[in-house]
Structure 1
Amino acid sequence: MQHGGHPGAAGVTLEAANIDRFRRELSRQVDQHRIDAGPEGLQIDAELPFSEVSLTLAEEIERLAPFGNGNPLPKFVSQKLRVVQDRRIGRDGAHRRLLLQDKEERKQSAVWWRSADEELPGGEVDIAYTLGINEYRGERNAQLTVEAVRPAAEVEAAGLGGGLGGECALHDMRRESVDAGELPTPGRAVWFAEGTRLGHVPFQSRLDAAQAETGRPLVLWSSPPSPELLQWLVERAAPSELYLVGRDTAEAQPDAVLKQVAGMAKWSMRPSRNGHDGGAAQDSRLPIDRLAARIGVTEAIIRCSLLWLEQKGLLRIDGWEEGDVARVEPGDGRERDDDERSLLQEELKELLAEVRAYRRFFQRAPVGALGILVPND
């Protein structure tokens, strides 16, 4: 490996096989040694509705080049957009291509680099991006490059939204001994109960909540793995009543999670039961959101686990399909790069430590600290 540069730039020469490992370690070092200074958050230059996004504007921006230190690319924001398509791109699904639509049904394509571990908020979103030109097979088009994504609207200060009169009755039962039979049944309430330690409580996932009617009671039997999921559940359900139970029903240790992900991957690749040996395999497709819901963790943890299992030689990721679905094949049993696997294991440990910490916070924090706004008594 060779390196060099000047105060405004740096360059390295290394073998192609080491690029992914180098990128991960560089990101880790930057996070560890970064000095927080200057204004917080993204600096946005202008709000740009989709009606004004065009190749002509992108060409005008290009005339301001060269961009870099002292002359950054202008950053724009477009608000209240809907993600109508989310497709993984790149050999390992590390990037995404989004199709975004505004209120007037105008659509724009956007690329989001190194976003494999990022979770899209539910509902409408605000997108911060730079505007450039994509040239492909002789055609030139304006292309958005995503910088950040956030939910488009905050929870209304008057309450949780939805329900009767826009108000929500809160039942904080986190420190109580609660029998599931005392709560509104899944037939008339939206339940969140995920993980493999539910006991007699039926599995009711975030995916069920996505299909449920709004305005019904919301029962949070399990502690959510992240504040983003909590916020999404509340916004999506717009409940008339909210029951905070917060039981610890999911694994959050690396070995246990890896074992569960490996088991689900193995099941997806097993031969079909058609009465004959060597029958056709199952579809070998792993929807990331379904795995995350079944285990009760974040989608980032599932992706990291699959990459670790691939490095271990237990499976091979054949590609990614629209909707964040991994196609997998049986591995050859040969372990790959030890350093890369070690980095993935450390990343997995950190992600799971964040989940454990948030679950403890959810179980113990005052209601006001959870970011859930309820009406004053």
Structure 2
Amino acid sequence: MAAGFSFAVEKAEVAARSIVNSCNRMIGTKSLRGRVEIDAVMNASEMDLGIVSELNRMAPFGMNNRKPVLVIEELKVTSVRPLGKEGKHSRMIFAAGENQFECVMWNSRGRTPNEGETVDLAFNAEINSYGGRDRLQLMMVDWRRHGAAAVVDEPEKANESQGASSGKAVDNVKRAGISPAPALAMAETESEINSQVINSQVIDSQDIDELTKSANLVKSQSLVRLTFKDLRAYAGRADVIAKAVGKLSGVFLFGEEATKISAPDLKKFEFQDRTQLKAAEHLLVWQYPPSLKNFQDLLFATRAKTVYLVGEREDDLEPQDPAQFMKQLLGLIRFAVNQRDGQVEGDKLAALLGATKMSVALALAALKRVHWIDWFTENGIIYLDLLGSPVASVEETPEYKQLLASLAQTDKFRKWCSQCSMKELQLALIPNQIGLSGEPEVLGAEAEKLKGSPSITIDER
């Protein structure tokens, strides 16, 4: 969110002093130094593919289950080389006795250790599969020169790092004094995405169930006064938008897939996507969101009192072509690399494709597996790099096959939105623990009558 304010020039000094004082009060004694939470300190001789395989049993990893951060101390830097088309990333080789480790640091920009230095390394351990062979690869989280004193700004947590011994897991060890580098503990690699899909049938704990029910109750109460207007009989007609904009004040036009909202008859309208959500009196749904959760988020964020459901033309609801989806994604990746320094907001990329974030992640993982691109995520931003021609067929990767299923789920949901009864739609969108049939219900006679109506009526109330 962005905000601004103004004040008279003669009050600039007072305003600046007040801002500084306010910041100091809010910060208080909190540390501004970055911290790395370490899960275990390892011996170099113990770090191998078997350890990584064991750690991967804790998958799927994500925001609420981050990848373990490990540390190996006293590693010697034997090689530092640029990585990627523009050399924005780095590949390093570390050694400890006879043990050597390959390590990648994304978006390094000169923040790597120098060859010959001895460092302590914090990392995520991964298995890199290529050409039928598996090899250990470390993804750098952070590093510091060996022997540098750990600077702990918060005394009450200083003792948490005591008692750590090499090769034994240490819970919640806090260390500081480490040179700033991108924190990648939550970066989603192809193996993480794969785990999230394959291991999706995770048993929910009672705590999670209770939290979910509480969150759903809050959303239900905020949406209880919603009024739905069924305009699906006019699906795909631009004059519906024109009449809505002309008659309604404060209307939010939802439509996001770039290839669909850029049609000649739609260019004059200002569509908004999931990254531009704001409160509005009226919500006109021109394009069905890709999932039930996306639809619920749309209703909750806009807090509209009236929802006009228009939807897409029947031919736009045909199953998505995965090859075309990948082609469009590659075009957006090339644009991001050439025009945006390889950076794109994850939600924005998904919105431009009209897809779920899972579909986008699977597609990116498939491209990475064949060494077409490299990517990582940090704080909602995807960092992309083109590596050149693929070394294998994308269609043969397990992530691509999972992508087909993910796109099919989106197709099924949008088709259901176009055919279900309004009652079914309302019950599904407003969380209330009421069981609903998953089978689409064909529109009734009332909708059939609307199709023959010569004019469009939009209620201003």
Aligned amino acid, residue 251 of structure 2: A
Q: Where does residue 257 of structure 1 map in the other structure?
A: 325
Letter of the structure 1 residue corresponding to residue 403 of structure 2: L
Q: Per the alignment, do residues 284 and 219 of structure 1 end up closer, same or farther by CA in structure 2, a change over 3 Å counting?
A: same
How is 1:115-134 mapped onto 2 (pairs within 5 angstroms)? none
In the other structure, the counterpart of 1:289 is: 347
Q: Specify the alignment match of 1:44 in structure 2.
A: none
Supply the distance in 2 between the matched residues of 1:284 and 1:156 (Cα, whole angstroms): 36
1:235 and 2:300 matched: yes
Identify the residue that residue 344 of structure 1 maps to in structure 2.
399
**Match of 1:192, as an amino acid?**
F
- Shift in alpha-carbon separation, 1:18–1:87, aligned structure 2, 3 A: closer
Residue 153 (structure 1) aligned with residue 216 (structure 2): yes
Hey, which of these two has a bigger chunk of helix by percent?
A: 2
The answer as to 2:270 corresponding to 1:184 is no
- Whether 1:304 aligns to 2:372 is no
The Cα shift of 1:158 comes to 7.5
Shift of 1:288: 1.5
* Structure 1 position 240, deviation (Å): 1.5
TM-score, with length taken from structure 2: 0.44
In the alignment, which residue of structure 2 is the partner of 1:66? none
Name 2:391's counterpart in structure 1.
335
**2 CA distance for matches of 1:129 and 1:160?**
26
Question: Which residue in the other structure is 1:322 paired with?
Answer: 379
What residue number does 1:367 align with?
A: 422
Structure 1: segments with no counterpart, 5+ residues: 1-9, 23-54, 56-85, 97-112, 120-126, 131-145, 162-166, 273-281
Question: 1-side partners of 2:310 and 2:184: how far apart?
Answer: 35
Residues in 1 aligned to 2:210 and 2:345: alpha-carbon distance in whole angstroms = 24
Residues 346, 382 of structure 2: 8 Å contact kept = yes
Give RMSD over aligned pairs: 4.2
The alpha carbon displacement at 1:373 in A equals 5.4
Q: 1:310–1:331: 8 Å Cα contact kept in structure 2?
A: no
* 1:213 corresponds to: 279
SS in 1 for 2:253: strand
| 1:332 partner amino acid | G
SS at match of 1:194: coil
1:120-170 per-residue CA deviation (whole Å, 9 max, x = no partner) reads xxxxxxx9588xxxxxxxxxxxxxxx8997471337778834xxxxx3332
Q: Which one has the bigger strand percentage?
A: 1
Rounded Cα–Cα distance in structure 2 between residues aligned with 1:294 and 1:172: 26
1:268–1:285 contact (8 Å) kept in structure 2 = yes
2:346 and 2:198 map into 1 onto residues whose CA distance is: 11
Distance 2:230 2:128 in 1: 52
Match of 2:409 among 354, 362, 376: 354
Tell me the SS of whatever aligns to 1:190: strand
| 2:110 paired residue number | none
> How many Å apart are 1:236 and its aligned residue?
1.6
Flag the 1:327–1:343 CA change in 2: closer, same or farther, 3 A.
Answer: same
Partner Cα distance (1:148, 1:253) in 2: 39
Distance (whole Å) between structure 2 residues aligned to residue 88 and residue 148 of structure 1: 28
Letter of the aligned partner of 2:279 in structure 1? E
Q: CA-to-partner distance for each residue in 1:338-360, whole Å, 9 max, x for gaps?
A: 69942111111100111111110
Return the offset for 1:238. 1.7
2:293 and 2:408 mapped to 1: Cα distance? 16
Say which one has the larger Rg: 2
List gaps (5 residues or longer) in structure 2. Answer: 1-56, 58-125, 134-156, 158-182, 432-461
* 1:71-86 correspondence to structure 2 within 5 Å: none
Change (3 A) 1:159 1:255: same
Distance 1:213 1:339, change over 3 A: closer
**Structure 2 Cα separation of the partners of residues 339 and 266 of structure 1:** 17
Do the aligned partners of 2:222 and 2:300 also contact (CA within 8 Å) in 1?
no
Query: CA contact under 8 A between 1:93 and 1:320: conserved in structure 2?
Result: no
**TM superposition shift of 1:328:** 1.4
Question: Residues 87, 368 of structure 1: CA spacing in aligned structure 2 closer, same or farther, 3 A cutoff?
Answer: farther
- 1:165-176 mapped onto 2 (5 Å cutoff): 167-176=225-234
| Alpha carbons of structure 1 residues 321 and 189: separation in structure 2 relative to 1, 3 Å | same
Q: Percent identity?
A: 19
* Other structure's SS at 2:415 match: helix
Superposed CA deviations along residues 31-81 of structure 1, whole A, max 9, x for unmatched, are xxxxxxxxxxxxxxxxxxxxxxxx9xxxxxxxxxxxxxxxxxxxxxxxxxx
Deviations 1:56-111 (A, max 9, x none): xxxxxxxxxxxxxxxxxxxxxxxxxxxxxx98625727669xxxxxxxxxxxxxxx
**2-structure distance, mates of 1:147, 1:153:** 10
Distance 1:360 1:321 in 2: 34
Letter paired with 1:309: L
Distance 1:330 1:176, change over 3 A: closer
Moved more, 355-364 or 251-260: 251-260
Letter of the 1:239 counterpart: A
